[in-house]
Amino acid sequence: MQNNTASWWFRDAGMRKLSVALLTGWMGSVALGFDNSLTPGLLSNPLFVPALGITDANILGLVLASTLLGGIPGLFLASYTCDRFGRRFNIATACVIIIAGAIVQALTTGGFRLMAGKIVVGFGTSFQSVASGPYVAEIAHPRNRPQVTALVLTFYYAGSVIAAWTTYGTLVNMSGDWSWRLPLLLQAAPSAVILSLVFFIPESPRWLFAKGRADEAHAILAKYHANGQMDDELVLHELSEIRLALEMENSANAVRYRTFLSTKGNKHRLFILIFTGVLAQWVGNGIITNYLPFILVSVGITSPADQTLFNGGLQIWNWIAATGSALACERLGRRFLWLVSATGMLCCFVIITACSAVYAQRGDTGAGKAVLAFLYIYFGFYDCAFTSMTYVYLLEILPYSLRTKGFAIFNLSTYVAAFFNIYVNPIALEKIAWKYYFVFIGMNIVAVIAIYFGYPETKGRILEEVAEIFDGPSAIVDTDPIGASVDPDDEVKGVKEEVEYRERV
């Protein structure tokens, strides 16, 4: 289609301005990654757990999982406010809440006061997670939407890298309580950056159109996708898709959470949402991410500095692997990356379990080093799909009217699985050590089966066209640009092409 933009985004004024909006959405994942990745570094700090005054593994697990206690009730409120007041409102609200929670955590003493601050942060992160991903997908230029949406979750590791090296730096260079208080206070930094940008970025054009503000949506799309050209062919095409998709969705019954049970296609979407949320936490990454110091001790790495150093290197590797997979998603396809990810993780976890058993029983240092190496390889496979594909895939399969509610369901399943994971893991590791890994081998087998049979390919389709995969050919929306005159010969040609396309499908 004719589009008034340069061939490369960095040479185009409109798309350079758009990059600020995309960066704001990506920074939401940076904040989430920083908030959720402090635990391994703090647990390696010998002053942290004694400062909490907690000796019982059950209570420690509850305190460390308390971020999720705040996140679960916040999800459904965040879904409502995101649809009612807009994506930018949710992003700004999340920042204010997270900053407040970070200050509470850093300036209080005792496990239960820290728990209160973590609950506040969790409440804020639910607003961030519901809004940031949809915002990026809805504001991105169509020609690079798959890549920029896939990059959303990779920036989680940018936050993880900052958190890992912050905890390492404070551990080796500071003494006293501020060696663990400062990382907690710095949780506020990513949110402060987002808050400084959010008032200068546009609202989601899809949200504006849904609220009857079509002229504003048109102006935003023209400004950022065509350098202000209001009659640009691509811009009119986008408006047409949004309008017709919303009309079709609004003609149905009022959208509720029970809408996910109303049709076969929506049930399929619900299956993917819940399974992705659970698998994202139960294929072994949760135990490695949150209790890495315990795993390192089990294979002979006992120095706090060495533990935080290993964690810092692991987070850098995660970011590189996730970014590479995200940029390759359109070339390799979603389903291929999902299957490679699940199969690779299964093989790695079998090897990690076997080597951990050998080290525990024989003290073989070679087996311990193999565990360390395969932790990196395992996360390389995890990042292939569960980091790079999660947001882009879920955003593609959800129509606009179900998008924020779908993300609330996905995040709820993620939070519930993560809470159970974090709470149970320290108890299980204390009781049965490496034998606990067999649970995750089983979950990786389930992941391979579920992805093979339940995750269709969505590569090469725009957001409104993916619905056809789930709802059948009747879900295809008319894509004639708004206000465009249709030549009869072109119309006949278009009908023939449509028939041939459906026959191929």
Asked if 290 and 419 touch (Cβ cutoff 8 Å), the reply is no
Tens-place pLDDT, residues 403-431: 778 888 888 898 888 877 777 777 777 77
Asked if 33 and 157 touch (Cβ cutoff 8 Å), the reply is yes
How many C-beta atoms lie closer than 10 Å to residue 367's C-beta? 19
Write down the pLDDT at residue 497. Answer: 47
Write down the pLDDT at residue 254. Answer: 60
Task: Give the CA diameter of the chain.
Answer: 80
Write down the pLDDT at residue 220. Answer: 95
Q: How many helices (H) and strands (E) does the chain have?
A: 25, 0
Write down the pLDDT at residue 432. Answer: 77
Write down the pLDDT at residue 251. Answer: 55
Q: Which residues of 411-428 are buried (b: 16+ CB within 10 A; e: fewer)?
A: bbbbbbbbbbbbbbbbeb
| CB-neighbour burial class of residue 65 (10 A; exposed 0-12, middle 13-18, buried 19+) | buried
| Contact partners, residue 357, CB within 8 Å, separation at least 6 | 434
Distance CA 190, CA 279 (A): 27
Q: Which DSSP string corresponds to 97-130?
A: HHHHHHHHHHH--SHHHHHHHHHHHHHHHHHHHH
Q: Which two tokens stand for residue 183?
A: 């990382």
Asked if 171 and 308 touch (Cβ cutoff 8 Å), the reply is yes
Residues of the chain with pLDDT under 50: 252-253, 476-499, 501-503, 505
Distance CA 276, CA 490 (A): 43
The one-letter amino acid code at 31 reads A
C-alpha count within 13 angstroms, C-beta hemisphere, residue 378 = 26
Q: How far is CA 309 from the centre of its chain?
A: 25
Write down the pLDDT at residue 363. Answer: 79
Q: Which two tokens stand for residue 95?
A: 């920042």
The angle formed by the CA atoms of residues 252, 256 and 262, to the nearest 5 degrees, is: 60
CATH 1.20.1250.20, domain 9-475, yes or no? yes
Write down the pLDDT at residue 502. Answer: 42
In angstroms, what is the C-alpha Rg of the chain?
A: 24
Helices (H), 8-65: 13-36, 38-44, 48-52, 57-64
